[in-house]
Amino acid sequence: MPYKWIALSNTTLGLLMATINSSIVLIALPDIFRGIGIDPLAPGNTGYLLWMIMGFLVVTAVLVVGFGRLGDMYGRVRMYNLGFVVFTVASILLAVTWQSGDAAALWLIGWRVVQGVGGAFIMANSSAILTDAFPVEQRGLALGINGVAAIAGSFLGLVIGGLLGPVNWHLVFLVSVPFGVFGTVWGYLKLRDTGQRTPARMDWWGNLTFAVGLIALLVGITYGIQPYGDDVMGWASPFVLTCIVGGVLVLAAFVLIERRVAQPLFAIDLFANRAFTLGNAANLLASLGRGGLQFVLIIWLQGIWLPRHGYSFEQTPLWAGIYMLPLTVGFLVAAPVSGVLSDRYGARWFATGGMVLSAASFALLDVLPIDFGYPAFAAILLLNGIGMGLFTSPNRADVMNSLPARARGAGAGMTATFQNSAMVLSIGFFFSLMIIGLSQDLPAVMAQGLTEHAVPAADAARIAELPPVGVLFAAFLGYNPVQQLLGGVLPTLPPDQAAYLTGRSFFPELISGPFSAGLTAAFAFAVIACMVAAVASWFAGNGRRTEELGAELAAGAGEAGGPSQLVSPSAATGSPAR
């Protein structure tokens, strides 16, 4: 088998494994928390809930740039294989968790972070390995297939988590182990470095300020959705403000450092390349919309639609993953096709058209009734998957083709940072929009609904004033929170009223109206993000491939001027940047 296909198959396996694990716990969280004996909705446990969701995403967002730089310096295959080892060891230790309670939660969060370290090595170097291995006329196909794994994995993780979690929550982590062992051995035996290695000194101050700044910013956004005092969200909290403002200031210091060091971690000069800058901007915005869609659909299906259609709350995580399959199918069909066609006809029309289709799908989701008919819902999800698939392959190929050979690891890491950070940002943005929508109408609706079913007015008013984030987390986890909210009041109610309040109908019907207001705001944001991404994609390219082999050689010759001189292929030939 030619080496390029070995590189494609191994890196595709690695990215698929890493991205499945970025989302697999989202659906399996109820089973995991039940398995370790923790109520994630209890006030002291919301931190566990957030970090089980966010830990993997935050650490990959922070580390991919540095790990891509290490790949440029010491060998991309070496760093990639190290990632496989770290990821596999962490998966084994997650699967054998034997503790319960707080100790188990901390153990799981800690090893999820280590698993994210391995995932960051894989994500940072896989695109660069492929770009080194494939000629320019086949990169769209190769990166398109690899991109299918990268994004389809996040959708497939939802289904796999829903299938394995109810059987045994340990399987959610164990499923990665055989693939990790196989991929590690295969990579060490078959992969080899074919790209340009650039000896350099590590930019430690750049690494430190980037990590501190980005972690602070992402942590601030994460805790901003939790209540603070009498406020329904924590954006006015001193801790949140300190994290966000401090993170921005440290990142500003990072930019200044990068402009002054001889061998920077984050090659700021790359942003002079239009294809790289606008391609990454489009990728960031597309990832915001895609990440937000995942969370909104999980809440919509698990908290409202599935219970109203006869599914118990315990069954909803599995069926939410199954009912979202059209999204994955659309993506799996469109991404490889757009990769092949963009190699021949250029990226502009495919990337731009994909974002326009995605924006249209968000607008169509907004006009669906809360209690929709599934065929229409499935068709819109299929359209969204096709749109995202059409965009992903040409966008990724254009960004990677715009990079000089010796900066591909760092450039791929920068692209992965934008994409992974967008997933965390989408949680902050979309959850905030949903909480704002719920907070406007939910208190009055809940107070009225409870009093109509024999709950004393004082208790109903007290429960209605609780922060709506608890209701949102309950819907996200597929829990029915009414029994917990009523607490000691429930035994005092007539049995028929108590049974109705804790059944499948009351909670979904109660939040349907307030949830609809939040959906409108969230989908409006997604439409805007996709349309801006479409504009960025249009101006990023001229509609045809401009990098040919001679241009790449010219770019390589231009790089002889020193580590800080980065010449794009299009600049080297005088052709316009894509």
pLDDT in tens, 90-129: 999 999 999 999 999 999 999 999 999 998 899 888 878 8
Q: Identify the H or E element spanning 295.
A: helix 274-300
Distance from C-alpha of 134 to C-alpha of 479, rounded to nearest angstrom: 48
Would you say residue 198 has pLDDT above 70? Answer: no
Section 300-327 average pLDDT: 86
Tens-digit pLDDT profile for residues 20-63: 887 888 778 888 998 999 888 776 787 888 888 888 888 888 88
pLDDT tens-place string over residues 172-197: 999 989 989 998 999 889 888 776 66
Residue with more model confidence, 367 or 396: 367
Share of the chain above pLDDT 90, in %: 21
Q: Indicate the average pLDDT of the chain.
A: 82
Task: Work out the pLDDT band at 380, boundaries 50, 70, 90.
Answer: very high
| Res 86 pLDDT > 90 | yes
- Write the burial class of residue 549 (CB in 10 Å: 0-12 exposed, 13-18 middle, 19+ buried): exposed
Is the distance from CB of 422 to CB of 280 less than 8 angstroms? no
Tell me the whole-structure pTM to 2 decimals. 0.78
Q: At what angle do helices 374-401 and 325-345 cross, to 10 degrees?
A: 40
Q: d(Cα 149, Cα 180) in Å, to the nearest integer?
A: 15
Give, rounded to a whole angstrom, the gap between the first and last alpha carbons of the chain. Answer: 33
- Dihedral sign, Cα of residue 527, residue 530, residue 534, residue 536: positive
CA distances from 381 to 160, 288, 321 (A): 19, 16, 13
Element housing 44 (H / E): none
Beta-carbon contacts of residue 144 (< 8 Å; ≥ 6 apart): 335, 336, 338, 339, 340, 342, 392, 393, 394, 396, 397
pLDDT beyond 60 at 205? yes
Token digits of residue 237 = 């909290």
